[in-house]
Amino acid sequence: MTTASDAFDLTGKVAVVTGGSRGLGREMVRAFARHGADLVIASRKREACEALAREVEAETGRAALGVQCHVGHWSDCDALVERCYERFGRVDVLVNNAGMSPLYPSLAEVSEELFDKVMAVNLRGPFRLCALVGTRMAEGAGGSIINVSSIAAVQPTPLEVPYAAAKAGLNSLTVALARAFAPRVRVNCIMPGPFLTDISKAWTPEMLRGLARVVPLGRGGEAREIVGAALYLASAASSFTTGAVLKVDGGAAFAPA
Q: What is the pLDDT along the chain (257 residues), one digit of tens a residue?
A: 556 778 999 999 999 999 999 999 999 999 999 999 999 999 999 999 999 999 999 999 999 999 999 999 999 999 999 999 999 999 999 999 999 999 899 999 999 999 999 999 999 999 999 999 999 999 999 999 999 999 999 999 998 999 999 999 999 999 999 999 999 999 999 999 988 887 666 666 776 777 878 899 988 899 999 999 999 999 999 999 999 999 999 999 985 54
CA dihedral (176, 178, 183, 186) in degrees, to 10, reads: 170
Which pLDDT score, from 0 to 100, does residue 205 have? 72
Strand 245-248's sheet: what is its strand order? 64-68, 38-43, 14-18, 93-96, 143-148, 185-192, 245-248
Return the CATH superfamily for domain 4-248: NAD(P)-binding Rossmann-like Domain (3.40.50.720)
Which pLDDT score, from 0 to 100, does residue 227 have? 97
The DSSP 8-state label assigned to residue 218 in this structure reads: S
Judge contact between 252 and 216, C-beta under 8 A. yes
Best CA proximity match to 226, nearest among 248, 251, 208, 252: 248
Element spanning 31, H or E? helix 23-34
Phi, psi of 2 (to 5 degrees): -85, 125
Judge contact between 104 and 117, C-beta under 8 A. no
Which pLDDT score, from 0 to 100, does residue 202 have? 62
Which residues are CB-neighbours of 221 under 8 A, at least 6 positions away?
192, 193, 194, 195, 196, 248, 249, 250
Which pLDDT score, from 0 to 100, does residue 203 have? 61
The DSSP 8-state label assigned to residue 221 in this structure reads: B
- What is the spatial distance between Cα 170 and Cα 22, in angstroms, rounded to a whole number? 21
Domain limits, the chain: 4-248
> Which residues does the annotation mark as catalytic?
163
Which residues are CB-neighbours of 150 under 8 A, at least 6 positions away?
99, 163, 164, 167, 191, 192, 193
pTM: 0.94
Q: Which residues of 122-157 are buried (b: 16+ CB within 10 A; e: fewer)?
A: bbbbbbbbbebbbebbbeeeebbbbbbbbbbbbbbe
